[in-house]
Amino acid sequence: MDGDLDSRQTNRARAQRQPDMRRVVYRETHSSRAAVATVAAVLVMGLAGYGLLESAVHAIGQPAWLIEPQLAAERIVALPAGIPPLLLGASGGVVAMVGLFFLLNAVLPGRRARHVLNGTTLNGTGNSSAVVVDDEVIASALARSARLAANVTPEQVMVVVSRRQIIVNVRPTSGVPVAEAAVLAAVQDELSGMSLVPVPDVRVNISNVGVIGA
């Protein structure tokens, strides 16, 4: 009885020490925002520090380093007066691009070009391991299956893997037809063995322009 209790307590302690695989997989499949957040923080701190410095210099009656705070405020209020339209448009475009960059980094999920193989680790079954594979590796394996099914050279097959879709582009050899259904079946069979999470849709494109055989 005591042995069973000790065993359960030991297993519970081990489970508590094991990392949360959902968090581990998320870190491996999503890019970190630390660099962007650091840049934003440095920019804000720099602007705030400069404003504080100019205000302190103005308060003690010393000449401004760059521009008087009151004069800067007046020019901002008077915009766009006194500024050439071309310079104003260029400045506005730069500010808009910088703002859009930070906005997209804050809103978009920032997924990396990776997939999880055998996603049973994500459904609460208690597994303590997961396999994360780059999309380039997946594309290479699928391209090989498509090449064998189409009976073409590696240069005649290109596979593009995204999170939700896989596009297989095949350029057949001139005079040798390619069965689209056979290529699709081969790619889907290879894909089913990978158990990707999420499972992408497969689309096969057979080019109308053939390649002259060697």
Shared domain for 143 and 94, answered yes or no, is no
Number of domains in the chain: 2
Looking at 23-37, 75-89, 131-145, 152-166, which range is the least confident one? 23-37
Q: Tens digits of per-residue pLDDT, 126-153?
A: 455 677 788 888 899 999 999 999 989 9
Last residue of a domain, one of 50, 78, 107: 107
Q: Give the containing element (helix H, strand E) for 157.
A: strand 157-161
Residue 200's pLDDT band (cuts 50, 70, 90): confident
Q: Angle at the Cα of 68 (from 62 to 71), degrees rounded to 5?
A: 145
Shared domain for 131 and 175, answered yes or no, is yes
Nearest C-alpha neighbor of 202 from the set 213, 192, 214, 212: 192
Shared domain for 122 and 73, answered yes or no, is no
Alpha-carbon gap, residue 161 to 142, rounded angstroms: 9
Shared domain for 89 and 121, answered yes or no, is no
H helical segments located in the chain: 2-17, 21-29, 34-59, 69-78, 85-107, 135-150, 180-194
Range of the domain at 50: 34-107
Q: Angle at the Cα of 195 (from 194 to 198), degrees rounded to 5?
A: 125
Does the residue 8 lie in any domain? no
Shared domain for 66 and 101, answered yes or no, is yes
Last residue of a domain, one of 87, 107, 127: 107
pLDDT score at 20 = 63
Alpha-carbon gap, residue 114 to 26, rounded angstroms: 11
